[in-house]
Amino acid sequence: MRSILIIQTIILFTLGSCSKERIPFLPQFSEIDYLIKNGTIVDGTGRPSYLADIVVVGDQIVYIGEEDFSYDDSKVRIKNNIDAKGKIVSPGFIDLHSHGDPLKYPHMQNFLAMGVTTMTLGMDGSSPEINPLSLWMEEIDKQGIGPNLAMLIGHGSLRNLSGIGVKKNPTKEELEKMLSILDESLKYTFGLSTGLEYSPGLNAESHELRSLAKVVGENNRLIMSHMRNEDDDHIEDSIAELLEQGEYARVHISHLKSVYGKGIDRAEEILNILNSARDSGIDVTAEIYPYNASYTGIGIVFPIWSKTQEEFNKVKLSKREELESYLVNRINQRNGPESTLFGTAPYTGKTLADLSHEKEMNFEDILIDEIGPNGASGAYFVMNEELQDRLLLDPNIGICSDGSISGYHPRGHGTFAKIIEKYVVNEGMLPLEEAIRKMTSFAAKVLGIDDRGILREGMKADIIIFNPNKVRARASYTDPFLLAEGFDIVMVNGRKAWDNQKHSDQLWGKVLKPN
Ligand SMILES: [Zn+2]
């Protein structure tokens, strides 16, 4: 025993002196921006954590060493030292599906506070309706943004830009125009998003979706889809529709859920569909947020024939009874009026049941006479925890917030903290390395970002430092804007964007371009 100890001591001593002799190993850098010492590295690949020092110069990681980083201080100046002893050092999180207006809220501190260093916009078929979209992106870049931004182009917006709007069958010329704007936009965006449950995207049929998918595939980009119908009895059809497009391009299910489905077995059935598609060569992935309520416009409960204001106004006069009974069935199927919680004024914080009680009206009449399909947004408690948790654990399913800085749902301020707090620390459902892999390298791979999402020499320095035991997702349904806590340092492009619960004055994020 004693001799082993002596040998170990000799080895350690020798290693120590070796590394001292490796002094000129970064001869090209006379200045180092950050030396992060003694951290426990979880590098994003899923491999077990290890102790190492990280050196950042400019916006890049230039060294990760399992040995102590040593240097000749007559030749190298260290501008900032960070002691990460006892803390996890990992890549910043990449949010696969987010919302918000960076021109209005450039700091996006809700994302930074939960460790997100790259957000995504242009989701659910909707991106700014500016052609070319690059003009808007340049504006964001000029103004600056807290986290990085990966942009998608929305199918609904493309329909509007090419004059198709809500038409079922675009003319050949209109379709050509849409495909050419798409083709051009994909040179500088990460892919196409569809929102087939929303107008105008819901008017698209198979031929149109396949034509779009071909262009996406030719550009080696992906399709992220808010599928046509997320109800449990439609989920198979919705996935099948997306997998058809998967014959041409990588496809990804946005915020995968089964509305009113229940149980682990049902989750396994859904996962089996995705696994067999993958076995047959389709590149399909998905993402999920860790909450059991969705959040969107109240239009989600209205029938397909009364989603737009124009349709609704007509239906209200001509088919009122049919509309009433549709709404009664739909709301009851979605766990009743107490499970719809409004998040927009003047109903903020009230459920549909509360309103019905207050106004002494049937809830269907409130929906028709007071609100309408475009009059409010809300949270809908329509998901089953066992089912959603099983989906979340699958290795081909990543994490998204689907949230924004102004959305009245805790996911916009809590998601990534909740994954660490609940799934890793409190319930031990995910190993830390796996949780971080989902939120970093997995997400980067889905989007096609190859210089972020892993801590490795040569990668961009999007780095977060935290103690998992101190991470808290404080946002709740009644208090959805509370910032997450516990991410001590959030570095974006080699600069501290979030430090000690405060954002920096400067905006270090970039509008990312696909490689
Ligand atoms: Zn969506």
Report the distance separating Cα 143 and Cα 106, nearest Å.
8
Our CA angle for 314, 318, 320, nearest 5°, is 100
* Pair 482, 472: CB distance under 8 Å: no
Q: Per residue in 259-316, pLDDT tens?
A: 999 999 999 999 999 999 999 999 999 999 999 999 999 999 999 999 999 999 999 9
Beta bridge partners of residue 60, listed in sequence order: 57, 460
The per-residue pLDDT for 27 is: 55
CA of 126 to the centre of ligand 1 (A): 10
Among 64-68, 200-204, 467-471, the least confident range: 64-68
Nearest to 478 by CA among 343, 375, 385: 343
Does pLDDT of 10 surpass 90? Answer: no
Report the distance separating Cα 153 and Cα 122, nearest Å.
5
CA of 100 to the centre of ligand 1 (A): 13
| SS3 assignment for 421-473 | HHHHHHCCCCCHHHHHHHHCHHHHHHHCCCCCCCCCCCCECCEEEECHHHCEC
Nearest to 320 by CA among 379, 259, 362, 374: 362
CA of 195 to the centre of ligand 1 (A): 7
CA of 227 to the centre of ligand 1 (A): 8
Report the distance separating Cα 404 and Cα 123, nearest Å.
12
Q: What is the mean pLDDT of residues 385-414?
A: 97
Q: Per residue in 226-271, pLDDT tens?
A: 999 999 999 999 999 999 999 999 999 999 999 999 999 999 999 9
DSSP 48: P
* Pair 16, 68: CB distance under 8 Å: yes
Does pLDDT of 75 surpass 90? Answer: no
CA of 12 to the centre of ligand 1 (A): 54
Q: What is the mean pLDDT of residues 399-405?
A: 98
Does pLDDT of 9 surpass 60? Answer: no
The per-residue pLDDT for 478 is: 87
* Pair 178, 155: CB distance under 8 Å: no
Report the distance separating Cα 490 and Cα 92, nearest Å.
7
CA of 13 to the centre of ligand 1 (A): 57
CA of 226 to the centre of ligand 1 (A): 5
* Pair 437, 431: CB distance under 8 Å: no
Buried b (16+ CB within 10 A) or exposed e, 427-441: eeebebbbbbbbbbb
* Pair 150, 118: CB distance under 8 Å: yes
One-letter amino acid of 79: K
Does pLDDT of 164 surpass 80? Answer: yes
Nearest to 465 by CA among 124, 147, 83, 168: 83
CA of 419 to the centre of ligand 1 (A): 20
Q: CB within 5 A of ion ligand 1: which residues?
A: 124, 226
Does pLDDT of 1 surpass 80? Answer: no
CA of 256 to the centre of ligand 1 (A): 9
The set of residues, in sequence order, having a beta carbon less than 8 Å from that of 479 and lying 6+ positions away, is: 410
Q: Work out the percent of the chain whose per-residue pLDDT is above 70.
A: 94
**How deeply is 38 buried, as exposed, middle or buried, from its count of CB atoms within 10 A (0-12, 13-18, 19+)?**
middle
The per-residue pLDDT for 439 is: 99
CA of 125 to the centre of ligand 1 (A): 8
The per-residue pLDDT for 396 is: 98
CA pseudo-torsion sign 163, 168, 172, 176: positive
CA of 123 to the centre of ligand 1 (A): 7
Report the distance separating Cα 314 and Cα 96, nearest Å.
38
Structure tokens at 75: 């030749």
Structure tokens at 384: 């089953």
The per-residue pLDDT for 166 is: 95
CA of 427 to the centre of ligand 1 (A): 28
Average pLDDT value for the chain: 93
DSSP labels for 392-421?
Answer: HHSTTEEE-----SS-SSTHHHHHHHHIII
How many other CB atoms sit within 10 Å of the CB of residue 181?
Answer: 19
Q: What is the pTM of this model?
A: 0.92
Does pLDDT of 419 surpass 70? Answer: yes
**How deeply is 303 buried, as exposed, middle or buried, from its count of CB atoms within 10 A (0-12, 13-18, 19+)?**
middle
